Structure 1
């Protein structure tokens, strides 16, 4: 694969059932010769952002909880924002389009007026060089375009089926794949 997947979605194939990535939707934050990094945008937890990062509570989007970003470094936090306009606010690194990663050491009051949405993730999903490409080649992931609101939906748990359904064709049929085929 010669193109960068930064800013795109990885949608877990049904073959990943029972794994950490079962029905995961991963927004790719970087993808280059050094590997790949993304966050699962459809895994809200019960932990309120205010309980772990109180200064960011006024900035985060509903439902105001920490999302599980992936299995790597669960004790670290990563902020994802949708930025207003074309300026790059202090403390934000643009990923693609309006999406950016925010340095959570930046004062929240500097970031708040510059963003229209924000999520906080515990951990991330990471791949070594060529590892992700191998998983895509073996059919573990579908690579699709992200819509600007995907990472900030209040109905994040339903994102896997929604993203597949909007693809049309064979991928749209995957959206109705049962969570547990043995119960079908």
Structure 2
């Protein structure tokens, strides 16, 4: 079950009220000659008349009131420290999220490039013309290699009447002629 979020603290307003209040360590004692008890701040400045009564609850209430000024000082400092730390962590998280998005885009791009099918030449017209002329593709090919890859590859097709030995001899002779001219 969702619990309602508490209203945000107005630390500046709390800080202003704290600064305007009587400072110093507060204490509880009898006012001289009045028979009443009260809370005194620094330099014996009266803060107010309070009668906490007697018993454990009265002691707890008195302890709470007497320590309120110091406790608020410590709490304000700690809340401001935590807000600063939180702002730093949020900035780091946002930076990490931006970096993760960029990395994901890079991975997506690299994956697309790595898995892309290479563009192959369209040979369907050539193959159809060959078949239409009654030619048969020859299993061998003539390849001339460059520095790191082939720079020429020629495939041949022959009529069914050309014997295998003649086919091989023709391809070999074409290769020799090309090499002699280079």
TM range (shorter): under 0.3
TM-score by length of 1: 0.18
Higher strand share: 1
The structure that has the greater radius of gyration is 2
Higher helix share: 2
**Structure of higher RCO (CA pairs closer than 8 Å, 6+ residues apart):** 1
TM-score by length of 2: 0.18
